[in-house]
Structure 1
Amino acid sequence: MKRVANCLLKKGEQVLMLQKPRRGWWVVPGGKVETTETIQEAVIREFYEETNLKLINPVLRGVFNIIIKDGEKFIEEWMMFTYFADSYTGELNLDCEEGILEWKNINEILALPKAQGDNIYLEHILNSDEVITGKFIYTPDYELIAYSMDKKMETIS
């Protein structure tokens, strides 16, 4: 199982987003957790590698299972640990190898193209200090099949 850590960084009424070149989808910066590091170490390191910004006191806000299925066939699963921060040091990297980094207004981030499940957890993290857990089930093309947040299952039709 893969583990990834990302962070929603808020600055005033803006959030730092990263547009990935493959699909043109927007995500919050982050990446893979290395074998020898904690999730907290990973989110700080990955965020810095992508943005050149050092997070100050990121707080865990969500833990999610991402499951990829092709019909009934299990393809892969990974865990995503999502943090929130509103403090950082450094200057934003304008030449990010992972894609395009931009500060986006909070009111527009839910309308940006992204994986369908991302809006579900991003909206919660923007509006609540509570830690949330959930599960997202996708097709291999990242079409959302179903999701659950703290035991409430929703099927997408």
Structure 2
Amino acid sequence: MIREDVVYGLIFNQANDKVLMVKNMGSVWTLPGGAVENGETLEQAVIREVKEETNLTIEIEHIVAVNEVLFAEKGVHPIFFTFKVKVVDGEIGIIDENEISEIKWVDLETANVLMPYHPNGIRGLLASNSSYIFQL
């Protein structure tokens, strides 16, 4: 199986209790994110992916989840790293219309339905906190 690292940015708007999600061309809603490129750290990848998918510049706060799954039929073993991030610049916009069809703020209950693999839901992710260290 081929191992693939995937990163996501959890962008939470505390004022209206919503999370930013993107709809991929495959009709799947996710947090903004994607595959880590060769030679890229997880932090670099999530910053790049969020920018590519939402036009937002972010800063990393901390890692909130690590998930993995085996797709035996595809021969892929992705490991998903989700970071809590904050927006520091930019306006929401689709940069690549061949990849992202829609971006919207979603209430937490809807986000939980769209991402059922987090047993404690988005609130659980928001309460989670772990360190991420890139060792030189």
TM-score normalised to the size of structure 1?
0.68
TM-score normalised to the size of structure 2?
0.77
Q: How many residues align?
A: 123
Between the aligned partners of 1:89 and 1:56, the Cα distance in structure 2 is: 10
Hey, what does 2:8 align to over in structure 1?
A: 6
Hey, what does 2:68 align to over in structure 1?
A: 65
> Percentage identity across aligned positions?
26
Say whether the 8 Å CA contact 1:7–1:58 is kept in structure 2: no
Moved over 4 A (4+): none
- CA shift digits 1:92-147 (9 cap, x unpaired): 014552221001122332234x5x42x43643313x2234xxxxxxxxxxxxxxxx
- With CA pairs under 8 Å and 6+ residues apart, which has the higher RCO, 1 or 2? 2
Kindly report which structure 2 residues correspond to 1:102-113, keeping only aligned pairs within 5 A, or say none. Answer: 102-112=104-114
Which blocks of at least 5 consecutive residues in structure 1 are unaligned? 132-157
Rg larger in structure? 1
Say whether the 8 Å CA contact 1:5–1:39 is kept in structure 2: yes
1:55 aligned onto 2:58: yes
Offset, 1:28: 0.3
Between the aligned partners of 1:5 and 1:84, the Cα distance in structure 2 is: 11
Offset, 1:57: 2.7
Which blocks of at least 5 consecutive residues in structure 2 are unaligned? 131-136
